[in-house]
């Protein structure tokens, strides 16, 4: 079912990135970020929970949101490759968040007109959260890019590492394309203009250059991931698999 698969793609994006950001809890470079990053992670995981619950009901096989989030194998996840990339240093984490939020903010804004009631409800909350994520991550990208020689080097290095994964944000899988045609989801490619505007503005102030990527890295929507996702899932799913059926 196309709608089920497309909803899972969105849910997986938010869950995996939320888990990645949560890894900074207790390790952020300053107290304010030790509070801000987990809260950003909670925004993403909260969105994922609603989407997984929606997907479970669309599937109609008795599985719960926890089953879909925690008990699938690596090849069954449909998240884009960008969100599973390791945190790296703080520059990479902030740039990854900016890239993702700069796409999702106009996506959720467009999704306010979805024919799916649950998607509209998610969009109403998520669009505000993504606007904050853009502001927070963007300020850090500017601060580091236009900072010391070392911070600028690391920020440009983050661009070199992550920019090749951004093209997949704008690609629609067959399931997503079917939902776009039915008015359930916005057309992903239509977000390019808004994304380019935000990234261009931030990069201009950060004194960063966008590299030309003739062959973007893709495959996540087809379940083809790097080994990093396997390591992440082993940690994320441990409790659920060690104690099957456990309830909080």
pLDDT of residue 247: 74
> Residues 106, 191: contact at Cβ < 8 Å?
yes
Residues in contact with 22: Cβ distance below 8 Å, sequence separation at least 6, in sequence order: 37, 38, 41, 45
Q: 2-242 has which CATH code?
A: 1.20.1260.10
Q: Tell me the C-alpha distance between 246 and 248, whole Å.
A: 7
Question: Considering only CA atoms, which of 3, 36, 23 is closest in space to residue 182?
Answer: 3
How much is the average pLDDT of 123-141? 98
> How many of the other CB atoms lie within 10 Å of CB of 127?
18
Report whether pLDDT(178) > 90. Answer: yes
pTM for this model (two decimals):
0.96
> Residues 238, 187: contact at Cβ < 8 Å?
no
Report whether pLDDT(167) > 70. Answer: yes
Quote the distance between the C-alpha of residue 61 and its chain's center: 27
pLDDT of residue 105: 98
Region at 82 (left for phi over 0; alpha for psi -120 to 50; beta for the rest) = alpha
Question: Considering only CA atoms, which of 139, 140, 69, 127 is closest in space to residue 101?
Answer: 127
Sign of the CA dihedral running 108, 25, 15, 163:
positive
How much is the average pLDDT of 181-195? 98
Q: Tell me the C-alpha distance between 70 and 243, whole Å.
A: 12
Tell me the backbone φ, ψ of residue 229, rounded to 5 degrees: -65, -35
Question: Using one digit for the tens of pLDDT, what is the confidence trace for 31-65?
Answer: 889 899 999 999 999 999 999 999 999 999 999 99
pLDDT of residue 246: 78
> How many of the other CB atoms lie within 10 Å of CB of 90?
21
Domain boundaries, the chain: 2-242
Residue environment code for 207-243, b if the CB has 16+ CB neighbours within 10 A, otherwise e:
ebeeeeeeeebbebbeeebeeebeebbeebeeeeeee
Q: Tell me the C-alpha distance between 243 and 248, whole Å.
A: 11
Question: Using one digit for the tens of pLDDT, what is the confidence trace for 92-116?
Answer: 999 999 999 999 999 999 999 999 9
Is residue 248 very low, low, confident or very high in pLDDT (cuts 50, 70, 90)? low
Q: Tell me the C-alpha distance between 168 and 34, whole Å.
A: 30
pLDDT of residue 42: 97
pLDDT of residue 162: 98
């Amino acid at each position: 079912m196309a709608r089920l698969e497309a909803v899972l793609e969105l849910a997986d994006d938010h869950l995996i990135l939320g888990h990645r950001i949560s890894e900074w809890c207790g390790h952020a470079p300053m107290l304010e970020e030790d509070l801000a990053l987990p809260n950003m992670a909670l925004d993403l995981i909260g969105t994922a929970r609603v989407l997984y619950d929606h997907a479970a009901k669309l599937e109609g096989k008795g599985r719960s949101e926890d089953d879909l989030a925690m008990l699938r194998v690596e090849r069954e996840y449909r998240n884009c490759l960008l969100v599973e990339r390791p945190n790296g240093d703080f520059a990479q984490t902030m740039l990854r968040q900016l890239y993702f939020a700069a796409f999702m903010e106009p996506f959720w804004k467009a999704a306010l007109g979805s024919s799916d009631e649950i998607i509209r409800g998610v969009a109403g909350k998520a669009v505000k959260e993504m606007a904050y994520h853009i502001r927070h991550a963007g300020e850090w990208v500017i601060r580091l890019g236009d900072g010391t020689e070392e911070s600028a080097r690391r920020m440009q290095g983050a661009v070199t590492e992550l920019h090749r994964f951004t093209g997949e944000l704008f690609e629609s899988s067959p399931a997503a394309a079917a939902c776009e045609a039915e008015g359930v989801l916005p057309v992903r490619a239509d977000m390019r203009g808004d994304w380019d505007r935000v990234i261009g503005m931030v990069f201009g102030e950060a004194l960063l250059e966008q590299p030309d990527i003739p062959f973007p890295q893709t495959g996540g929507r087809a379940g083809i991931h790097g080994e990093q996702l396997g390591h992440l899932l082993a940690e994320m799913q441990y409790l659920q698999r060690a104690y099957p059926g456990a309830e909080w």
